[in-house]
Amino acid sequence: MVWEEKWSKSRNRIYYFNRKTGESRWEKPEGEGDEPQIRVCHLLVKHNQSRRPSSWKEANITRTKEEALEIIKGYRERIVNGEITLQELAKTESDCSSAKHGGDLGFFGRGRMQPSFEEAAFALQVNQLSEPVFSDSGVHLILRIA
Protein backbone atom coordinates (compact mmCIF):
# COMPACT_ATOMS: atom_id res chain seq x y z
CA MET A 1 0.00 0.00 0.00
CA VAL A 2 1.36 3.41 -0.95
CA TRP A 3 -0.51 5.48 1.65
CA GLU A 4 0.22 4.81 5.32
CA GLU A 5 -1.99 5.87 8.19
CA LYS A 6 0.09 7.79 10.76
CA TRP A 7 -0.59 9.73 13.95
CA SER A 8 0.17 13.44 14.24
CA LYS A 9 1.31 14.28 17.77
CA SER A 10 0.99 18.04 17.17
CA ARG A 11 -2.60 17.87 15.82
CA ASN A 12 -3.59 14.77 17.78
CA ARG A 13 -5.19 13.13 14.75
CA ILE A 14 -4.59 10.66 11.92
CA TYR A 15 -2.90 11.74 8.71
CA TYR A 16 -1.91 9.87 5.56
CA PHE A 17 1.66 9.62 4.29
CA ASN A 18 2.71 8.47 0.80
CA ARG A 19 6.02 6.59 1.05
CA LYS A 20 6.71 6.95 -2.67
CA THR A 21 6.26 10.70 -2.98
CA GLY A 22 6.76 11.88 0.61
CA GLU A 23 3.37 13.67 0.42
CA SER A 24 1.17 14.00 3.53
CA ARG A 25 -2.59 14.54 3.64
CA TRP A 26 -5.12 14.98 6.42
CA GLU A 27 -7.94 13.38 4.48
CA LYS A 28 -7.80 9.75 3.35
CA PRO A 29 -6.93 9.58 -0.36
CA GLU A 30 -9.95 8.08 -2.09
CA GLY A 31 -9.42 5.12 -4.36
CA GLU A 32 -5.65 5.29 -3.91
CA GLY A 33 -3.97 2.44 -2.12
CA ASP A 34 -7.20 0.43 -1.91
CA GLU A 35 -6.29 -1.79 -4.86
CA PRO A 36 -5.10 -5.32 -4.14
CA GLN A 37 -1.33 -5.53 -4.04
CA ILE A 38 0.95 -8.51 -4.36
CA ARG A 39 4.66 -9.06 -3.88
CA VAL A 40 6.83 -11.24 -6.06
CA CYS A 41 10.41 -12.23 -6.65
CA HIS A 42 11.42 -13.02 -10.19
CA LEU A 43 14.32 -14.22 -12.24
CA LEU A 44 14.72 -12.73 -15.73
CA VAL A 45 16.68 -14.17 -18.62
CA LYS A 46 16.95 -11.68 -21.46
CA HIS A 47 17.51 -12.59 -25.11
CA ASN A 48 18.49 -10.80 -28.31
CA GLN A 49 14.87 -9.76 -28.97
CA SER A 50 14.35 -8.27 -25.49
CA ARG A 51 13.39 -4.60 -25.49
CA ARG A 52 16.80 -3.82 -23.97
CA PRO A 53 19.16 -6.74 -24.70
CA SER A 54 21.74 -5.83 -22.03
CA SER A 55 21.98 -6.18 -18.27
CA TRP A 56 24.20 -5.65 -15.24
CA LYS A 57 25.78 -9.01 -16.12
CA GLU A 58 26.22 -8.66 -19.85
CA ALA A 59 26.56 -5.54 -22.03
CA ASN A 60 25.30 -7.21 -25.22
CA ILE A 61 22.99 -10.21 -24.88
CA THR A 62 23.11 -12.41 -27.97
CA ARG A 63 21.25 -15.56 -26.86
CA THR A 64 18.04 -16.42 -28.72
CA LYS A 65 14.57 -16.51 -27.20
CA GLU A 66 14.67 -20.31 -27.42
CA GLU A 67 18.01 -20.42 -25.57
CA ALA A 68 16.62 -18.11 -22.88
CA LEU A 69 13.62 -20.43 -22.46
CA GLU A 70 15.87 -23.48 -22.07
CA ILE A 71 17.93 -21.64 -19.42
CA ILE A 72 14.75 -20.68 -17.52
CA LYS A 73 13.46 -24.27 -17.68
CA GLY A 74 16.75 -25.47 -16.18
CA TYR A 75 16.50 -22.89 -13.37
CA ARG A 76 12.90 -23.89 -12.67
CA GLU A 77 13.88 -27.54 -12.40
CA ARG A 78 16.62 -26.70 -9.87
CA ILE A 79 14.16 -24.63 -7.80
CA VAL A 80 11.38 -27.25 -7.88
CA ASN A 81 13.87 -29.99 -6.92
CA GLY A 82 14.87 -27.97 -3.86
CA GLU A 83 18.48 -27.56 -5.00
CA ILE A 84 18.31 -23.75 -4.68
CA THR A 85 15.72 -21.03 -4.04
CA LEU A 86 14.59 -18.57 -6.69
CA GLN A 87 15.93 -15.72 -4.55
CA GLU A 88 19.40 -17.30 -4.30
CA LEU A 89 19.49 -18.01 -8.01
CA ALA A 90 18.21 -14.55 -8.95
CA LYS A 91 21.13 -12.92 -7.10
CA THR A 92 23.65 -14.43 -9.51
CA GLU A 93 21.67 -15.31 -12.64
CA SER A 94 18.90 -12.75 -13.18
CA ASP A 95 19.37 -10.12 -15.89
CA CYS A 96 17.19 -7.71 -13.90
CA SER A 97 18.65 -5.09 -11.57
CA SER A 98 16.41 -6.56 -8.85
CA ALA A 99 18.98 -9.38 -8.68
CA LYS A 100 20.75 -7.55 -5.86
CA HIS A 101 17.53 -7.98 -3.82
CA GLY A 102 17.04 -11.63 -4.72
CA GLY A 103 14.64 -10.65 -7.49
CA ASP A 104 12.24 -8.96 -5.04
CA LEU A 105 10.10 -6.38 -6.83
CA GLY A 106 8.28 -5.28 -3.68
CA PHE A 107 4.52 -4.71 -3.52
CA PHE A 108 2.64 -3.60 -6.63
CA GLY A 109 -0.91 -3.37 -7.90
CA ARG A 110 -2.45 -3.85 -11.30
CA GLY A 111 -1.25 -1.61 -14.12
CA ARG A 112 2.32 -1.36 -12.80
CA MET A 113 4.00 -4.21 -14.73
CA GLN A 114 4.01 -5.47 -18.29
CA PRO A 115 0.63 -7.14 -19.01
CA SER A 116 1.88 -10.72 -19.44
CA PHE A 117 4.00 -10.48 -16.28
CA GLU A 118 1.17 -8.92 -14.28
CA GLU A 119 -1.39 -11.48 -15.44
CA ALA A 120 0.90 -14.38 -14.47
CA ALA A 121 1.87 -12.81 -11.13
CA PHE A 122 -1.72 -12.10 -10.03
CA ALA A 123 -2.78 -15.64 -11.04
CA LEU A 124 -0.29 -17.20 -8.61
CA GLN A 125 -1.05 -18.19 -5.04
CA VAL A 126 1.40 -17.16 -2.29
CA ASN A 127 4.53 -19.37 -2.47
CA GLN A 128 3.60 -20.61 -5.95
CA LEU A 129 6.21 -20.62 -8.72
CA SER A 130 5.15 -19.78 -12.27
CA GLU A 131 5.93 -21.62 -15.44
CA PRO A 132 8.12 -19.56 -17.82
CA VAL A 133 6.51 -16.19 -18.61
CA PHE A 134 7.36 -14.19 -21.73
CA SER A 135 7.37 -10.39 -21.68
CA ASP A 136 9.02 -7.64 -23.71
CA SER A 137 11.91 -7.83 -21.23
CA GLY A 138 12.62 -11.54 -21.72
CA VAL A 139 11.64 -14.80 -20.04
CA HIS A 140 10.76 -14.83 -16.33
CA LEU A 141 10.17 -17.17 -13.45
CA ILE A 142 7.89 -15.55 -10.89
CA LEU A 143 7.46 -16.54 -7.25
CA ARG A 144 4.60 -14.86 -5.41
CA ILE A 145 5.66 -14.14 -1.83
CA ALA A 146 2.69 -12.06 -0.59
Whether the CB-CB separation of 132 and 80 falls below 8 Å is answered with no
C-beta neighbour count of 94 within 10 angstroms: 29
> Residues 41, 42, 98, 135: which is the catalytic one?
42
> Residues 41, 47, 87, 140: which is the catalytic one?
140
| Residue 114 annotated to the active site | yes
pLDDT at position 34, please? 58
> Residues 47, 96, 98, 130: which is the catalytic one?
96
pLDDT at position 32, please? 55
pLDDT beneath 70: ranges in the chain? 1, 30-34
CA distances to 5, 11, 32 from 40, rounded to whole Å, are 24, 38, 21
| Residue 140 annotated to the active site | yes
| Strand ordering across the sheet containing 104-108 | 104-108, 38-45, 139-144, 133-134
> Residues 37, 101, 114, 116: which is the catalytic one?
114
CA distances to 51, 68, 95, 137 from 71, rounded to whole Å, are 19, 5, 12, 15
Rounded CA-CA distance 102/92 in Å is 9
pLDDT at position 1, please? 55
pLDDT at position 14, please? 84
pLDDT at position 57, please? 94
